[in-house]
C-alpha cells in the first residue's frame, strides 16, 4: 500500500471562538467561564483580557483595567493569526476599552459577534464606569450580531424601564433599532419561570423554561453569551445556538458547584449536545 502524506499546508477546520472580557481568578465568571464553555462545546477558545479582578465567590474586591492600547494589541495579535469564527465581548470597563475593541471588530464584520453588556457583578460591584454605556450603544451595538442584556443592562442601554415580559419584548425590538442585528433580553430577575426573549429577523421568539432552584450563583450571563458564540462558531443558526445555549446553562446551573463560601459557580463540564 502506498501512503500519501498530507499536503504541507493542509489544516483541519477547527471551530474557534474568542472571548474579550475580564478575568475572574476564582473561575466562575468572565474569561475563565467562557473558556470552560468553549471547551465543553469542543470549540477552540482564545481570550483577550480587558480587566483583572480580585474576586471570589463572595464578591469583587478590586478591578485593574487593562490599558486600551494593550487590549487592542492583544486583539490584533489574535486576529492576525487565528481563523476566528465567532467573538463574544463581556466586561469592557470604560469608553476607551469599548472603542479599542469596536475599532478592530469593525474591520471583521463577517465574524459573528455576541455582545454581553456586562455592567455590574452578581454581587453588586460596578464593572464599568459611566462612559461605558454610551460607548456600547454608539460604537459596539451596531456591530453586534446579537446583544444579550439582562433586565438592568437593557434598562441602562435604553434609558427606559424593563420590568415585565411585555417590556422585554419592546426592549429587544428597541435594541435592534439601535443597530444590533438581533437581541436576546434575559428575564432571570423576573418572578416565575426562566423567561427570555429573542428578537431576530423581525420576529419575537419566547424562550421559557422551568426555573432551576439554586440559592445563589454567578456566571450565568457570561456562560450564556459564550455558549451562543460557541454555537455560532460551530455553524449553528442563531435561533438554534440561542436555544442550545439556554439548555446548556440550565443543565450547568442544575449542577452548580459548592466550591467556595459564597455564590455557586456553574458546572461547565455538562455536555451541550445532550438531549439535542
Pick the catalytic residue from 53, 57, 148, 217.
217
Name the CA radius of gyration of the chain, rounded.
18
Pick the catalytic residue from 28, 30, 148, 186.
186
Pick the catalytic residue from 220, 223, 246, 262.
220
Pick the catalytic residue from 72, 187, 221, 262.
221
Pick the catalytic residue from 45, 187, 222, 262.
222
Provide CB contacts within 8 A for 95, sequence distance 6+: 129, 131, 132, 134, 135
- Is 148 labeled as catalytic in the residue annotation? no
**Beta strand 194-200 pairing with 203-209:** antiparallel
Residue 66 in grid coordinates:
487593562
In angstroms, rounded to a whole number, what is the distance separating the alpha carbons of residues 28 and 35? 11
User: What phi-psi label fits residue 42: left (phi over 0), alpha (psi between -120 and 50 degrees) or beta?
Assistant: left
Pick the catalytic residue from 28, 72, 219, 262.
219
What is the C-alpha end-to-end distance of the chain, expressed in Å?
Answer: 41
- Is 37 labeled as catalytic in the residue annotation? no
Contacts of residues 102-110 at CB distance under 8 Å and 24 or more positions apart, as own/partner, are 102/135, 102/139, 102/140, 102/143, 103/72, 104/72, 104/75, 104/76, 104/79, 105/140, 105/143, 106/143, 108/79, 108/84, 109/143
- Is 262 labeled as catalytic in the residue annotation? no
- Is 217 labeled as catalytic in the residue annotation? yes
Report the catalytic residues.
186, 217, 219-222
Amino acid at each position: 500500500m502506498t501512503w500519501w502524506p498530507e499536503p504541507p499546508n493542509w489544516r483541519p477546520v477547527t471551530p474557534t471562538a474568542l472571548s474579550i472580557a475580564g478575568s475572574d481568578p476564582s473561575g466562575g465568571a468572565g474569561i475563565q467561564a467562557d473558556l470552560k464553555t468553549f471547551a465543553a462545546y469542543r470549540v477552540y477558545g482564545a481570550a483577550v483580557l480587558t480587566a483583572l479582578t480580585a474576586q471570589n465567590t463572595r464578591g469583587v474586591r478590586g478591578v485593574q483595567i487593562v490599558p486600551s492600547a494593550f487590549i487592542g494589541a492583544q486583539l490584533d495579535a489574535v486576529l492576525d493569526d487565528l481563523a476566528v469564527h465567532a467573538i463574544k465581548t463581556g466586561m469592557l470597563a470604560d469608553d476607551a476599552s469599548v472603542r479599542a475593541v469596536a475599532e478592530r471588530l469593525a474591520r471583521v464584520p463577517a465574524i459573528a459577534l455576541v455582545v454581553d453588556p456586562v455592567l455590574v457583578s452578581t454581587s453588586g460591584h460596578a464593572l464599568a464606569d459611566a462612559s461605558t454605556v454610551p460607548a456600547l450603544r454608539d460604537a459596539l451595538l451596531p456591530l453586534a450580531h446579537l446583544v444579550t442584556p439582562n433586565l438592568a443592562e437593557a434598562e441602562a442601554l435604553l434609558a427606559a424601564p424593563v420590568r415585565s415580559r411585555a417590556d422585554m419584548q419592546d426592549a429587544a425590538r428597541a435594541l435592534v433599532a439601535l443597530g444590533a442585528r438581533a437581541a436576546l433580553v434575559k428575564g432571570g430577575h423576573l418572578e416565575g419561570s426562566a423567561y427570555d426573549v429573542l428578537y431576530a429577523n423581525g420576529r419575537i421568539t419566547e424562550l421559557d423554561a422551568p426555573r432551576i432552584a439554586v440559592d445563589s450563583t454567578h456566571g450565568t450571563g457570561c456562560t450564556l453569551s459564550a455558549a451562543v458564540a460557541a454555537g455560532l462558531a460551530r455553524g449553528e443558526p442563531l435561533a438554534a445556538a440561542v436555544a442550545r445555549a439556554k439548555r446548556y446553562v440550565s443543565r450547568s446551573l442544575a449542577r452548580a458547584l459548592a466550591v467556595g463560601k459564597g455564590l455557586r459557580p456553574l458546572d461547565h463540564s455538562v455536555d451541550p449536545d445532550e438531549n439535542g
